[in-house]
Amino acid sequence: SFQQTQDDVIPRYVRVNTLKTTLEDVIDYLKREGFSYQGMASGLEDLDRLTGKTFLCDLHLQDLLVFSAKTVFHDHFLYKAGHIILQDKASCLPAFLLNPQVGSHVIDACAAPGNKTSHLAAIMKNKGKLFAFDLDAKRLSTMSTLLLRAGVTCHQLANQDFLKVDPQSSVYKEVKYILLDPSCSGSGMVCLRDEVSEPQDEGRLQALATFQLRCLNHALQFPQVQRVVYSTCSIHSQENEEVVSAGLQQNPAFRLVNLLPNWPERGHEPFTECLRASTAKTRTHGFFVAMLERRPPQKDQQN
């Protein structure tokens, strides 16, 4: 089927968990197991040529390895020991782009099951504070297991509605970075792609977009926040550019950051500072990422 074909062209991405190991050690380990390392990918053709036990380093993201689609790691020692995380390339973008400083205070607003949380912790070198919220208790318990395996220690998990977290609370007064990856239609997930294309889903999309905008507006209320990354695994502009557009209009203290100039797929006009991802152009699931930053104080402002 079409879906099968699409699934096959998404390679297996493996993020090296630098809280537990290094890129070099993982590459060496895999080479000793008979994998063949081919260096840094230079384009999509290299990814499409992966077969058997060959693998590459990703072109855009550090600490990300790429294997052929059929490579299975679920029972592998490196996976079970938390040295590697199985995470689509597109879903590695938010934490990588937010790039919180070591020792900073960070919120992961809709965090479970926690792959992006563990990525944030790795970038923070487990130093500072990582406040992670999720409404769903079951997903949070999966997340605890995942974070334990990944060696994350700088986090504080809360089974809480992010929209009810008080931005004025002294607990969050040093929060500079927020990762916001709210519930979305999932229309970018290749395996779900056919489910959200019906016109009767308009109402659902609108409800999701309303929720997503409330979350974005809420994130921008934290008094010290400098950067907010907003992401979805949706291909609908209603949940992506339109949410960002409304968020910017309602929060003039913030502007978009132009992300990865050499990334091949951009947000829909005029939001080309944002990134999109797709099977066709980036060999990932469908994804959207925007980064908003607080404008510098008025007196220094140039534009």
Whichever of 133 and 254 has its CB closer to ligand SAM, that residue is 133
Tally Cβ neighbours within 10 Å of residue 47.
Answer: 23
The CB-of-190 to ligand SAM minimum distance in angstroms stands at 16
List residues bridging with 155 in a β-sheet.
Answer: 130
Is-contact 31 24, C-beta < 8 A?
no
The CB-of-184 to ligand SAM minimum distance in angstroms stands at 6
Distance of CA 259 to CAs 98, 248, 262, 263, 285, Å? 10, 16, 9, 8, 19
List residues bridging with 106 in a β-sheet.
Answer: 130, 177
Residues of span 72-91 touching ligand SAM by CB under 6 A: 91
Size of the site for ligand SAM (CB under 6 A): 19
Report residue 230: phi and psi, to 5°: -110, 125
Residue 133 found at the interface with ligand SAM (CB under 6 A): yes
Whichever of 11 and 114 has its CB closer to ligand SAM, that residue is 114
Q: Which of 11, 100, 113, 267 binds ligand SAM (CB under 6 A)?
A: 113
Stretch that binds ligand SAM, among 51-59, 69-77, 127-135, 274-282 (CB under 6 A): 127-135
The residue behind tokens 């500079």 is 176
Residues of span 138-197 touching ligand SAM by CB under 6 A: 139, 161-163, 181-183
Residue 135 found at the interface with ligand SAM (CB under 6 A): yes
Specify whether 191 is catalytic.
no
The contact mask relative to ligand SAM for 218-257 (x = CB under 6 A, - = no) is ----------------------------------------
Whichever of 63 and 134 has its CB closer to ligand SAM, that residue is 134
Q: Which of 92, 215, 233, 274 is catalytic?
A: 233
What one-letter code names the amino acid at 303? N
Residues of span 26-65 touching ligand SAM by CB under 6 A: none
Tally Cβ neighbours within 10 Å of residue 124.
Answer: 25
Q: Quick one: how many helices (H) and strands (E) in the chain?
A: 10, 13
- Closest residue to ligand SAM, judged by C-beta, is 110
Q: How far apart are CA 92 and CA 107, in angstroms?
A: 17
The CB-of-270 to ligand SAM minimum distance in angstroms stands at 26
The CB-of-142 to ligand SAM minimum distance in angstroms stands at 9
Whichever of 81 and 163 has its CB closer to ligand SAM, that residue is 163
What one-letter code names the amino acid at 102? V
Residues of span 91-110 touching ligand SAM by CB under 6 A: 91, 110
Is-contact 190 252, C-beta < 8 A?
no
Write the DSSP string, 203-214: HHHHHHHHHHHH
Write the DSSP string, 181-238: ------TTSGGGGGGG-SGGGHHHHHHHHHHHHHHHHHHTTSTT--EEEEEES---GG
Binding site for ligand SAM (CB under 6 A): 91, 110-116, 133-136, 139, 161-163, 181-183
